[in-house]
Amino acid sequence: MGEPPAPAASEAAPAPGAGAAAKAEFTPLEVPAGNAFADNYVAGCLSKWDLQRGMRYAHFRAGKAYHKMAGQEFVGDFFGDARVQEAFRVLTKGGQWEPLGDVADFDFEAVPATLTSMEFFDRLETADPPITRKEGTIFKCFENFVNGIQISDLLRDMLLNEESENAALYGEEERAQLLFLVLKHLSLGGAMCQFEDKVTAYLTCAKRCYKELLTVFKNQKTEQIEVGSAVYRVTRASGARDLFPSESEQNFCYLAFDPFRRVCKVWYHASADYR
């Protein structure tokens, strides 16, 4: 059925469609009602962590096939499509949702998404010093601020503080994995985040959101479960309207493309001044 997507180096792309022989068409799709982000438990947590108001989740179908390594072509065609420009709403500085509009240029990077087990986070308990207790309680620490985000426990300390005793718990390649990034976004939350005392809710929601974004399959040769989706993180898109209203640690835009069904799942979050 194919091989899982391989990570690629960060790329800067020219104007969408530049030099392309033909543009693909992207059709907005209805997001299934049973998606993870609409689940009562997940939605409740996202609201508590102040991620709900700045978040959007959408589906689009590509009109042609793309190779998993053709990230620049795929992202360029996506942002160059008129229906995407109209249907893809972004948050403005005033906290309003407006169409993205024409895109002059953008930056993106391929995101590895090869993990298929939550055992990846077992080391939160076995770390030295441990970040969580066996029952899930997150150890507290002296309050600090990094990139404007409050740090008062060892989980956020590990995620953000380069001088943390647990900074090396996950290597650079592991921190680049989509599963790690999902947990990071959920754990840091928004400006008015109500943080958890236990890691359980973060892990539960991270698992559900990660599974929602990806398509997996069983490799007939190895009998192993593998990820079939190609994932791209768009860090900047400029033109008629900026992708993000301002710089923030919690700005993110992921395009998770299923090459089998040609469906692109978009998970977007931006921080804005809602006053």
pLDDT single digits (tens) 189-217? 998 999 999 999 999 999 999 999 999 88
Separation between Cα atoms, residue 15 and residue 76, nearest integer Å: 7
Q: Which of 15-19, 98-102, 181-185 has the lowest mean pLDDT?
A: 15-19
In this prediction, residue 166 has a pLDDT band, given cuts at 50, 70 and 90, of: very high
Percent composition of the chain: helix, strand, coil (DSSP 3-state, to 5): 25, 30, 45
* Residue located via tokens 């995101």: 111
User: What's the confidence (pLDDT) of residue 16?
Assistant: 44
- Per the CB < 8 A criterion, the answer to whether 146 and 160 are in contact is yes
Q: E strand or H helix at 163, and its extent?
A: none
Separation between Cα atoms, residue 68 and residue 75, nearest integer Å: 11
Structure tokens at 247: 């710089």
Kindly report the number of other CB atoms within 10 A of residue 47's CB atom: 14
Residue 244's closest CA among 87, 28, 130, 100? 100
Beta-carbon contacts of residue 253 (< 8 Å; ≥ 6 apart):
233, 234, 235, 237, 243, 244, 266, 267, 268, 269
Mean pLDDT of the chain: 90
Separation between Cα atoms, residue 237 and residue 102, nearest integer Å: 10
Mean local confidence (pLDDT), 162-185: 97
Mean local confidence (pLDDT), 27-55: 97
User: What's the confidence (pLDDT) of residue 197?
Assistant: 97
Rounded to two decimals, the pTM is: 0.89
